[in-house]
Amino acid sequence: MRATNKSAATMISRAFFLFLVFMAAASFALAEKKTFIVHMDHTKMKASNPQQWYQDLMDSVYDPSIDEEEEDDTTPPDLLYSYENAFSGFAAKLSTKQLESLKKMNGFLYATPDRMLSLHTTHTPQFLGLQSAKGLWSASNLSSDVVIGVLDSGIWPEHNSFHDSGMPPVPAKWKGKCEMGKKFSPSNCNKKLIGARYYYKGYEAAYGEINQTIDFLSPRDKNGHGTHTASTAGGSVVDKASLFSFASGSASGMMYTSRIAVYKVLWEKGRGATADLLAAIDQAVADGVDVLSLSLGGAAEPYYLDVVAIAAFGAIQKGISVVCAAGNEGPSFFTVANTAPWLMTIAASYLDRSFPATVKLGNGLSFQGSSLSQSHATKHLRLVYGKTAGGEGADYCIPGSLDHNLVKGKIVVCQHGNHGRVAIGEQVKVAGGAGMLLLNTESQGEELFADPHVLPAIALGVSKGKAIIKYLNSSEKPTASITFEGTLHGTRAPMMAAFSSRGPNKVDLNVIKPDVTAPGANILAAWPPIVSPSMLTSDKRSVKFNIISGTSMSCPHVSGLVALLTSVHKNWSPAAIKSALMTTAYTMDNKKAPIVDVANYFDPATAFELGSGHVNPVAAVDPGLVYDITAEDYLLYLCSLKYTSYQIAAISRGSFSCPEKFSPQPGDLNYPSFAVNFEGKAKNVSFTYKRTLTNVGTPKSSYMVHLDEPNGVAVAVNPKILKFEKLG
């Protein structure tokens, strides 16, 4: 169902896609003058026109009596441009001391170094329609002090993605702190990273004392996951980001001017305890975060038993949006996690950037796959597989299965089983193999992970894998070569990732989950230098950025977008923000065809894979209408699920009683999507659901209903036209 404004298409049912943003930054020199873009609050203007105001400011920060040793400060700052249309502010050449003086002036918001922008960046801004100094990335929207709370494996605070150059002081509302711990002190925080805490008592109670040779008993990240997600959501601008020259460009989070507060709850092997998670969310709410980003979760369970759902309900009561990963248990149905309707649950999809590699067989056939291998192209080498490579388990290249005498100097074909992809390549390398073809199984479909393999290697989809096996079985001396082609833009996208967990919602079929999809496959973001890109202990390579995949990567993309929308619409509830992202999402890809599912041989994806669709942040700023939901609405929804007063109290933490003469349907929750369940071979069955729409667009406006009915189902909407005379 879609509501459309008479003058322009406005919204109601699908969702769009997002991804990680990358731009460029320059480092500050202590005394050398540099060009800065200075963002100003035009409401504080103290002159007849902006240019005069900016010139007055330049004059006021120039002190000719400065010690002559600081030669750059003995010359006045140069006002290069004044801006009045795209945003309010100016460009000027300033010394460090002059910039510090400017920060004290009334109306100053923040300053960023001028930068050289490259169109072949990490590519998220272009893919999502975000443009510098326009729309969501305009100065007024970026200047708000939004705090993103990231619950994960910690952070590497020295990384350039968390620099605070040009940022204003920490907001007075902030009550959080940076805790002392192993290799971490309060001095590691700054105006970007304003909070860092760690929670481990529940973990130690379950698994024993934390091994401090494996992890840091502090907010410091020794896993990489937390650093990656934090930089994706709100990382600062970093120039010349790449992984081995793959995906090269500038890097930043979705809201690169946001503040970041980290709460370390994941420890060795990425494990964490719900007791620690609950404590972290509780503290984050008290600290004053605006958005919570949770790239974690367990199996779906009733909401009164779901710690994430319970803690998140308390957060949304305080106006804090909670964004969660859908999980990586796809492509099976009923695997989606974090299913409570007050959570925003994010699936994962591809963006239009790939890392192609090609295998050419001895019979002349070529197949394209994916790789982040640093290796040069291989020569034509013998192919071995299964019995020609070793003993039992050699077809999956499990540890100890490969025979050195059989695989030395050859390319080994490995099926992708339950072992890690780069770990499989490590087994091939240890056995003396010269390369690897990693073939997907049926469940992985046409998924193409890009991995930093430790030898020449290529990942291939299931259909191409079958063709390669057929060649192996038909040739006495099968051969192949591998070539690597770098980074390619413009590929078909978005496409749903096979690993992304799917609905239906096991807890309640009446709420469709996931809610939307966003970029989560092959995402470049910050990485600790002490963690190898493959995460193998034998891999001694050190990188500043890494490319990894998961709904853990799509979640912080949306967290950053939610932060941007929170900055723009400060009075919107978490439900209104979620509604805006869901109802403006899209379901057609860049080839003007339905978004496909790579797990299902590129058939069109359904709502159980992509929710309402792919997030579209540009459209979400002005959705026209929203489906708003209050905390009480959610409690009435729990009544409709027949929860007992004790079960509801576990979530509400208050004395809420279901009305005696109230018999709501779960489907009446004012959700931005509709789930209508026809059981079995139901015929001549009808359902009626109600929704309330709030006008957040143009005061006087009309919306007409457009229906796209499923086969065999008739849909009627009353009224057919919604007329508004005012906002609200």
Kindly list the catalytic residues.
152, 225, 552
Q: Would you call the peptide bond into 331 cis, given omega within 30 degrees of 0 as the criterion? A: yes
CA dist 324 and 552 (Å) reads 8
% helix / strand / coil in the chain, to the nearest 5? 25, 20, 50
The one-character DSSP state at 43 is G
Task: For residue 143, give every residue at least 6 positions away whose Cβ sits within 8 Å of its Cβ, in sequence order, or none.
Answer: 39, 41, 109, 110, 257, 567
Number of H helices, E strands in the chain: 17, 34
What are the E-state strand segments in 73-186? 78-83, 89-94, 108-113, 147-152
Half-sphere exposure of 227 (CA within 13 A, CB side): 28
Beta bridge partners of 147: 259
Q: How far apart are CA 625 and CA 623, in angstroms?
A: 6
Phi-psi group of 174: left, alpha or beta (phi > 0 → left; psi -120 to 50 → alpha; rest → beta): beta
Residues 6+ apart with CB under 8 A from 215: 222, 223, 267, 268
Q: Whole-angstrom Cα distance, residue 434 to residue 569?
A: 56
| Phi, psi dihedrals of residue 404, rounded to the nearest 5° | -55, -40
DSSP 120: S
The amino acid that residue 21 corresponds to is: V
Calpha distance 335→300 (Å, rounded): 8
Q: What is d(CA 444, CA 576) in angstroms, rounded to the nearest whole number?
A: 35
Q: Please give the single-letter amino acid code of residue 646.
A: Y
Residue 598: what residue type?
A: V
First to last CA, the chain: 21
CB 623 within 8 A of CB 575: no
d(CA 90, CA 109): 12
208: phi > 0 → left, psi -120 to 50 → alpha, else beta; which? Answer: left
**What CA–CA distance (Å, rounded) separates 560 from 177?**
21
For residues 565 and 620, is the Cβ–Cβ distance under 8 A? yes
The one-letter amino acid at 512:
I
- The Cα diameter of the chain in Å comes to 89
β-pair partners for 205:
none
Q: b/e string for 691-726 if b means 16 or more Cβ within 10 A?
A: bebbbbbbeebebebeeeeeeeeeeeeeeeeeebee
Type of residue at 308:
V
In contact, 611 and 512? CB cutoff 8 Å? yes
